[in-house]
Amino acid sequence: MEPAMLTAVLLVLALQNVAQGDLFTSIAEMELLLEAEKGIPDLLDLYIERFQQRLDEIKQLSLEKKQQSNRSLGNNMRLITNPVSAYLLIKKLIEEWDDIKRLAGSDIGEELLNEISELRAMNYAKNPTTPFTDPNHPRARNNIKWYEDMLAEEGMKPIDYRRNIPPITNPRPKSGLDKNEHDIYEALCRNEVPVSIKAISKLYCYYKMDRPFLRLAPFKIEILRFSPLVVLFLNVISDEEVKMIQMLATPRVGNYGIGGHYDPHFDFARKEEVNAFQSLNTGNRLATLLFYVSILFVL
């Protein structure tokens, strides 16, 4: 065979191999595309299921809101004046608003498209540099050196990596025997300061009749504790007087906000507070009288 003819035959064979190689590569990629297409119906079914689930959740939330509105329709004042109920109302509205935003704001169609794009063939076609996202990739590990160089340009030395760490402020809790006033206050609120059996045996009730008026309408008194002295007066004001007090106190009660002013404080001057009430021209407080004019309602 002549050299020119031999060269032509070899060239044709080479081109045939290249063409077959491209053909095989295209078929392989088409096979991946077919696999991706097979997964689309499943994703569509998932989309329908999620959409129906979201509709069911919205219907359930609407039904619950209607039931709650009907229950609280006649208790609006109780709902906003009672601190516990007011707190629960605010908490519930915030949580429900988050649910509404989640249900109304989530784009299920966008999620579907993202899931389709994450199928292997399409994802690789869209992100051919996926291997470079591997945290163990050499180029990623080299970033540490780049960060160190950036810190060095700012004047930071390697020894400063440890030296400039802020100190840990984690003091050891105080011993249980070292109770301060606030700890005792909280324990009293939780009824964790028990009264001894001996002290309880000395508690009693009586009628207070040491004034001429009280002989006609004596006060019912129950001694709850002797140290400090705590007594309970029963039925000292009428329902009409309670309503009058509530009406007169409403402007000032509103100033304290929801829950009132419950920070621990003293209404009297302690022994280290000398002349605490000198500017008021009054002496120290001897006692504190509290009238309970409402009942706690939790809806």
Percent of the chain at pLDDT exceeding 70: 58
Q: Hey, what are 52's tokens?
A: 């129906």
Please report the pLDDT score of residue 48 as a whole number: 81
In this predicted structure, the answer to whether residue 220 has a pLDDT above a threshold of 90 is yes
**Pairwise pLDDT comparison (102 vs 18), residue with the higher score:** 102
Q: To the nearest whole number, what is the mean pLDDT of the chain?
A: 71
pLDDT tens digits for 67-94? 777 766 556 666 666 677 777 777 777 7
Burial class (CB in 10 A: 0-12, 13-18, 19+), 61: middle
How far is 221 from 256, CA to CA, in rounded Å? 30
Q: Hey, what are 110's tokens?
A: 């966008």
- The DSSP letter of residue 132 is G
Please report the pLDDT score of residue 201 as a whole number: 92
Residue type, 52: Q
pLDDT band at 295 (very low <50, low <70, confident <90, very high): low
pLDDT tens digits for 250-278? 777 666 666 655 666 777 887 777 777 77
pTM for the model stands at 0.40
Please report the pLDDT score of residue 171 as a whole number: 65
Q: Say if residue 167 is preceded by a cis peptide, omega within 30 of 0.
A: no
Please report the pLDDT score of residue 4 as a whole number: 46
The distance in angstroms from the start CA to the end CA of the chain is 104
- Mean pLDDT on 32-53: 75
